[in-house]
Structure 1
């Protein structure tokens, strides 16, 4: 177990993999993994904090494209094991699937009262123009930040390019710019400039501090099905007939609309009769599903498709996997999908 000195603010850095964990060696010019047990030598700016900083490195380190629900569980259990020893946690993660991991972790941690900040970088931390150092340094500062002995941001968040977002509200929007992430339907929780400006009115603070519960059961028998003009009936039906399928995130047009083709509605109804849960989210980056507003969504509403409101696809698929893993009945899953569990949807 990694121990911390409780006389100073303490932060545990968990390195799972990703671009941020590479440095360019001066003599050879090659990129090699950061020695995270020597993180203060690799990033000497961290020495200016009077923090107790410890690190854990996953072996092997993973490209985020290879992250699976089992990795989410490993991250959650790692934090749970050290939860009482540290004031906050920074998870270093590849950017491609970071929003999925942040969303999944947000559901897994019930009664969370400490920061879990995910960050990464577009360039390796050891390159000259890297964004990795700032992302790491500020994430550590946010993870340690307290007011009246309570965490300033007791949430699962993503910090990137001077902005802190609620993890389950965030999407990756750009593969080339430093501003890789965005949260369209919910404001930033903090903005880093000369000072870090925390927007407390948007941060969730627990009214009653309960005992931390970490629920790591996940059911991955789900699929994302994206609507597009001319979608083929055989393809659509074959997806909904996948053996063992338990849930579908249906990415629809606009405010939750699909073609009015009778075959499509019939396919959906057959799936619903087999107790497959279908959750309707919009393909649009902003806005929300409002089934029944147009004729093209009335049939979905009548059939029993669940509105995802303003859930991101990442938050929707991980919420569905999480709820299906808890042993709930189909009806209970549908009820919880409409509930705001961790700030992932707007009422």
Structure 2
């Protein structure tokens, strides 16, 4: 961890909680270069000059920037492991963490960390921006300020939101329930299958009934292993046997997310079911999630999904695609004997047990 420099961007306040801001890259941390007109990385040691409101927070703020900020389109499991190692190394020193991240893959990263860091006692709040911090109409200021407040907020010295979440444009979402839905509006994220953890207007109104209960007796666990030999097979009208067969012939393939119609339905052709069954017999885990943004997979509701259930396809219930793929990667990286049982089990609030 010595390769990371932690910069204090706000002097220590007496009895103040400490919040660590981790900058991975993304629009929030960019400003326009007046000479070239192009975007360049923001110098965070000057952040209180650009966002003076931070000086009024009763928090000690520190920042750690990855040595090479990345575009979120280039995020990989290696970056998730790096974030886990950073948070683990600083876990006892800070009350909460804010991860500044590009929006395109934020829901994937938030979902991944919800599985790779379990039994959290402290908030990990992902946020970003649709517009760079250095322009007048930017959403970066409010997103950053509110995320820091949430990360540092406690009741009776206990974190209010002890889980991985995403804050964007007045909404606090469970990280593994969120999806990016807009590329050109400020309300970039939503959560179809789970209520907001908080709604932010004049006040921060926490939805305490839906925030994970802090369990002080449980040990926080950090995982750094994932299985990356996984894939996503999206069902569509006209999908052919050759395509599916070649998909499952990929070398070292260990797991597949099957994106099906509606409540978990797919074509009932014999060749298709045989391809799935043969893949499962070879040890490939297949997890069924819906292409719909809302609702859930109900294996067996219709005849086609009943047959998939019988051959061993696992139900993803109401998980998002982002949660399903990252959970599959985590499960296969850490559980080799019975992945099906762990996939069907609620780990970090990612699915609803009916």
Which TM-score tier does this pair reach, normalised by the shorter chain? over 0.9
Instruction: Give the match for residue 222 of structure 1.
Output: 230
The Cα of 1:312 is off from its aligned counterpart by: 0.3
The Cα of 1:42 is off from its aligned counterpart by: 2.9
Alpha-carbon distance in 2 for matches of 1:69, 1:28? 34
Q: Does residue 79 of structure 2 align to residue 83 of structure 1?
A: no
Q: Does residue 352 of structure 2 align to residue 339 of structure 1?
A: no
Q: Is the 8 A contact 2:121 2:216 kept in 1?
A: no
TM-score, with structure 1 as normaliser = 0.96
Matched length: 345
2:290 to 276, 282, 286: 282
The Cα of 1:27 is off from its aligned counterpart by: 6.8
- Show the 5 A alignment for 1:250-269: 250-269=258-277
CA deviations over 1:53-91 (Å, ceiling 9, x no partner):
000111210000000000001111111111111100000
Instruction: Give the match for residue 117 of structure 2.
Output: 109
SS of the equivalent of 1:157 reads strand
TM-score, with structure 2 as normaliser = 0.95
Alpha-carbon distance in 1 for matches of 2:297, 2:122? 32
1:152 to 160, 169, 180: 160
Q: Please list every run of 5 or more consecutive structure 2 residues that lacks an aligned counterpart in the other structure.
A: none
The Cα of 1:110 is off from its aligned counterpart by: 1.7
- Show the 5 A alignment for 1:1-347: 2=6, 5=12, 7-25=15-33, 29-329=37-337, 332-347=338-353
Alpha-carbon distance in 2 for matches of 1:82, 1:338? 32
Q: Is the 8 A contact 2:227 2:330 kept in 1?
A: yes
CA deviations over 1:180-204 (Å, ceiling 9, x no partner):
1010000000011001111101000
Alpha-carbon distance in 2 for matches of 1:78, 1:140? 18
The Cα of 1:24 is off from its aligned counterpart by: 2.9
The Cα of 1:102 is off from its aligned counterpart by: 0.2
The Cα of 1:38 is off from its aligned counterpart by: 3.0
Q: Is the 8 A contact 1:17 1:63 kept in 2?
A: yes
Q: Is the 8 A contact 1:113 1:209 kept in 2?
A: no
Alpha-carbon distance in 2 for matches of 1:229, 1:254? 13
